Amino acid sequence: MKAEKGTFVVLASGRGSNFQAILDKAAEGYIPAVCKALITDNPDAYAIERARAAGIPGEVVSFRSFSDKQTYETALIAAIQKYDPDLVVLAGYMRILGSEIVRKYSGRMVNIHPSLLPSFTGLHAQQQAVNYGVKVAGCTVHFVTEDMDAGPVIIQRTVPVFEGDDGDILADRILIEEHKAFPEAIRLFFERRLRIEGRVVKIGNAHSPSPGRDD
Ligand code: GRF
């Protein structure tokens, strides 16, 4: 008997090019799992169009329509729970999540950040890299923990930084690698090859136990 495919939802706030890369890789079978929904905090996010084109539900949980962060997050958790996903993927989701949601999805929520963490956390990471003068930059896919951009690292990919680069040029170069790194990390998760040991992620063979779920 064939095991049922794993499921994930994607949270994105804007353009959604990572979301698209993930959808494409799931459609071609590289990611052995099904995307159940897009959830966004931004009613104008282009990612909504991408979800529509792919025939995937797009849910808007708009931050502005809630009186405070707590009620917003309660609604966000409810929106995610509706799909009961194995994995929550933050693909350009521009809000810092509170501890309740992060704990609930501990070990099964991943984020992409456009720097080689732990360097250049937070906003405008690519511009930070240019300003600092590093010669190598890149992206990081990591598990989400309560500290921003600080969770266990799954995959990093690098790019060179050239003299004359500005933040936008570097961002475009890094984005190409993001579109490879994120699907690869998600694939590893669904192949059950990621094991979190303290703050280190070990990548095992296809039979390693997964981080598991506890809800
Ligand atoms: C990406 O650079 C991602 O690393 C960062 O936000 C950007 C989102 O781009 N967190 P897109 O919406 O996936 O095109």
- Alpha carbons within 13 A on the beta-carbon side of 191: 16
Residues forming the active site: 113
Global pTM value: 0.94
Query: What residues have CB less than 8 Å from 132, skipping those under 6 apart?
Result: 119, 120
Range of the domain at 49: 1-105
Q: Which ligand 1 atom is at minimum distance from the Cα of 21?
A: 13
Q: What is the pLDDT of residue 1?
A: 52
Quick one: pLDDT at residue 2?
54
Residues 88 and 47 in one domain: yes
Choose the final residue of a domain: 73, 105, 137: 105
Distance CA 203, CA 215 (A): 24
Does 139 lie in the same domain as 91?
A: no
Which positions of the chain have pLDDT values less than 70? 1-3, 207-215
Q: Which two tokens stand for residue 132?
A: 């600092």
- Residue 22 sits in a domain whose CATH number is 3.40.50.170
Please tell me the distance between residue 3's alpha carbon and the centre of ligand 1 in angstroms: 32
Into how many domains does the chain fold? 2
Is the distance from the beta carbon of residue 114 to the nearest atom of ligand 1 less than 6 Å?
A: yes
- Looking at the structure, tell me whether residues 150 and 64 fall in a common domain: no
Q: What single string gives the DSSP state of each residue in 100-137?
A: HHHHHTTTSEEEEESS-TTSS-SS-HHHHHHHHT-SEE
Q: Is the CB of 50 under 6 A from ligand 1?
A: no
Q: Which of 112, 127, 173 to mutate to test the pocket of ligand 1 (most atoms within 8 A of CB)?
A: 112
pLDDT at position 214 is 42
What does the pLDDT read at residue 212?
46
pLDDT of residue 78: 98
